[in-house]
C-alpha cells in the first residue's frame, strides 16, 4: 500500500531551471564558453559539479579540478542571489494543490532533490510545512541516477520503497526511482520520462485522483 510520496524539487514543485540557466549563462559568458538551452536541458536533475563537467566537456575546456570548484561556487553565488525573487506564487500549477491534498489525506511526504539550495527554495515558497523529511544535495553523496536520495527519504519516513511514489521530471531521476524500487510518476515529455510507471505532461494533470486511479491496487 502507498503510504508516502517523495518529490523532486526543481521542475516538480517549482521551476528553478530558468534561474539555473541564467546563472550558468552568466558564468559561461565570463569564461567565453558556449552555453545554450539545449546544453542546459542536459543539466536537469544533475548535481552542480556534474553540471559544470558537462559544460566543460561541451566546450572541450582544459581546466583544473580546483578551478572547476571555484567556478561552480561562482555560479552558485549568482544562483542563490536570484532565489530571492521566488515567492509563494511560484509553485508549478497543481503542485500546491497536490501537497495540500496529500497532507489532508494523511500521507507522509519527503523531498528528494539534488539541490544543496533546497531549504532556501522551500523557504521562499513557504513550502517547508508540507514536508516531513527534507532529503537534498546535502543528505547523500551519490547523486541521481543512483537511488540514494530517495532511499534516504523512504528510510527517514520509516517506509519501504514500494510504499512510496516518487515524482520526478528528470530522466536521471526516474532512473534513480526505478533503481531504488519506487513507483515513479514522470512529469514531462515521453523522450525524457517515458520510462516512468506513469507520465503526465505537467504537474497540473498529475493529481492525487489520477495517480490513485493508475495505482488503484496500491490504495485502500
Ligand atoms: C537540481 C536541478 C539541477 C541542479 C541540481 C543541483 O537537480 O535540476 O539543475 O544542478 O539540482 O543544484 P544546486 O542548487 O545544489 O546547485
Ligand atoms: Mg527536477
Nearest protein CA to atom 8 of ligand 1, as residue: 45
User: Ligand 1 in contact with 20 (CB < 6 A)?
Assistant: yes
Cis preceding linkage at 201, omega within 30: no
Contacts for 68 with CB less than 8 Å, ≥ 6 apart: 49, 52, 53, 56
- C-alpha 31/C-alpha 195 separation (Å) is 36
- Residues 51-68 have pLDDT tens digits of 999 999 999 999 999 999
pLDDT at 124 over 90: yes
Q: Tell me which ligand sits closest to the C-alpha of residue 115.
A: 1
- Tell me: pLDDT of 103 over 90: yes
Ligand 1 contact via 137 beta carbon (within 6 Å) = yes
Q: How far is Cα 170 from Cα 20, in angstroms, rounded to an integer?
A: 15
pLDDT digits (tens, 9 = 90+) for 67-102: 999 999 999 999 999 999 999 999 999 999 999 999
Contacts of 190 by beta carbon, 8 Å cutoff, 6+ apart? 199
Query: 48 CB less than 6 Å from ligand 1?
Result: yes
Q: Is 8 a catalytic residue?
A: yes
Write out the residues surrounding ion ligand 2, Cβ under 5 A. Answer: 8, 10-11, 45, 169-170
Mean pLDDT of 114-127: 97
Nearest CA to ligand 1 atom 3: 45
Separation of alpha carbons 186 and 86, rounded Å = 24
CA dist., res. 66 & res. 72, Å (int): 10
Instruction: Tell me the per-residue pLDDT of 9-48, one tens digit each, with 9 for 90 and over.
Output: 999 999 998 899 999 999 999 999 999 999 999 999 999 9
Confidence of residue 220 (pLDDT cuts 50, 70, 90): confident
Q: Which whole number is the average pLDDT over 129-138?
A: 97
Question: pLDDT digit string (tens) for 155-202?
Answer: 999 999 999 999 999 999 999 999 999 999 999 999 999 999 999 999
Q: Is 75 in the pocket of ligand 1 (CB under 6 A)?
A: no
Catalytic-residue membership of 175: no
Query: In the chain, which ranges are continuous DSSP H helix?
Result: 17-31, 37-41, 48-58, 65-82, 95-104, 118-125, 148-156, 171-179, 190-193, 208-214
Among the listed residues 150, 196, 151, the one whose alpha carbon sits nearest the alpha carbon of residue 169: 196
Amino acid at each position: 500500500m502507498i503510504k508516502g510520496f517523495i518529490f523532486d524539487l526543481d521542475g516538480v514543485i517549482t521551476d528553478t531551471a530558468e534561474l539555473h540557466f541564467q546563472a550558468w549563462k552568466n558564468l559561461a559568458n565570463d569564461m567565453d564558453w558556449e552555453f545554450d538551452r539545449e546544453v542546459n536541458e542536459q543539466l536537469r536533475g544533475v548535481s552542480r559539479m556534474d553540471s559544470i563537467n558537462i559544460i566543460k566537456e561541451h566546450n572541450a575546456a582544459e581546466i583544473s579540478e580546483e578551478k572547476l570548484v571555484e567556478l561552480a561556487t561562482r555560479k552558485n553565488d549568482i544562483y542563490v542571489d536570484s532565489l530571492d525573487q521566488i515567492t509563494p506564487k511560484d509553485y508549478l500549477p497543481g503542485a500546491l494543490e497536490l501537497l495540500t491534498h496529500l497532507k489532508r489525506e494523511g500521507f507522509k511526504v519527503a523531498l528528494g532533490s539534488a539541490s544543496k539550495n533546497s531549504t532556501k527554495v522551500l523557504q521562499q515558497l513557504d513550502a517547508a510545512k508540507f514536508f516531513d523529511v527534507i532529503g537534498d544535495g546535502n543528505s547523500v553523496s551519490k547523486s541521481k541516477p543512483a537511488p540514494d536520495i530517495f532511499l534516504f527519504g523512504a528510510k527517514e519516513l520509516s517506509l519501504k520503497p514500494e510504499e512510496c511514489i516518487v515524482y520526478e521530471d528528470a530522466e536521471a531521476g526516474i532512473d534513480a526511482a526505478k533503481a531504488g524500487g519506487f513507483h515513479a510518476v514522470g512529469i514531462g515529455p515521453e523522450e525524457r520520462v517515458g520510462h516512468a510507471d506513469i507520465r503526465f505532461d505537467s504537474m497540473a494533470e498529475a493529481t492525487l485522483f489520477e495517480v490513485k486511479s493508475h495505482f488503484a491496487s496500491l490504495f485502500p
